[in-house]
Amino acid sequence: MKIPLTSGTGSGPTTLSAFDAALMAAGVTHWNLLHLSSVVPPGAEIIDQPVLTPAEEFGQRRYVVMAHKYAVEVGQEAWAGLGWCQDASGKGLFVEITGAGRADVERDITLTLDSMKARRPFPLGPNRSKLTGIECRGEPVCALVIAVFPGAGAWPP
């Protein structure tokens, strides 16, 4: 199973509008997003690639692991990141981290994954991550990183 990892930033007159703009930039605007916890199933291959909601999937459900952060004051930054680690079978962990600066998000991804790996009764591989950020220059902004699991189907189920 391939799990694309994408990111986006956006701005708008409200935080929700900025979130929508970031979703649009990430290519996932037209799905209904269902948040998952942070477990990567065996057999998963996490790939960093752009995503675009196919027209025929408008309104369908997609399971996601997502980090998103807003900034609303001029000069503030919004940073979001996903970190992950996997074993040879593909099973692993995701973490969703946000903050006001890249260094803080990078540090917290490492600290969180290292702590979570130490609790597991099986070894997991090296930490990996994807981050994005944006500075507020007037309107609210949003930064997001999102892992999109394979299709969950149409509404209603």
Composition of the chain by helix, strand, coil, percent to 5:
20, 40, 35
pLDDT of residue 55: 84
Count of domains observed in the chain: 1
Of 76, 73, 28, 65, give the one whose Cα is nearest residue 20.
28
Residue 110 lies in a domain: yes
Q: How does pLDDT run across 21-61, given as a tens digit for each residue?
A: 999 999 998 888 999 988 999 999 999 988 888 888 888 88
Residue 36 lies in a domain: yes
Q: What is the rounded CA–CA span in Å between residue 106 and residue 80?
A: 10
Residue 63 Cα distances to 18, 31, 32, 39, 77, angstroms: 21, 10, 9, 12, 27
Q: Which two tokens stand for residue 4?
A: 């694309």
CATH number at residue 83: 3.50.20.10
Q: What is the rounded CA–CA span in Å between residue 115 and residue 127?
A: 12
pLDDT of residue 150: 85
Residue 39 lies in a domain: yes
pLDDT of residue 127: 98
Provide the 3-class DSSP secondary structure of residue 20: helix
pLDDT of residue 54: 82
pLDDT at 67 over 70: yes
What are the residues facing 147 on neighbouring strands? 5, 65
Residue 108 lies in a domain: yes
Q: How does pLDDT run across 95-146, given as a tens digit for each residue?
A: 999 999 999 999 999 999 999 999 999 999 999 999 999 999 999 999 999 9
Residue 157 lies in a domain: no
Instruction: Write the single-letter amino acid at 143.
Output: A
Cβ–Cβ under 8 Å, residues 60 and 32: yes
Containing domain of residue 54, as a range? 2-148
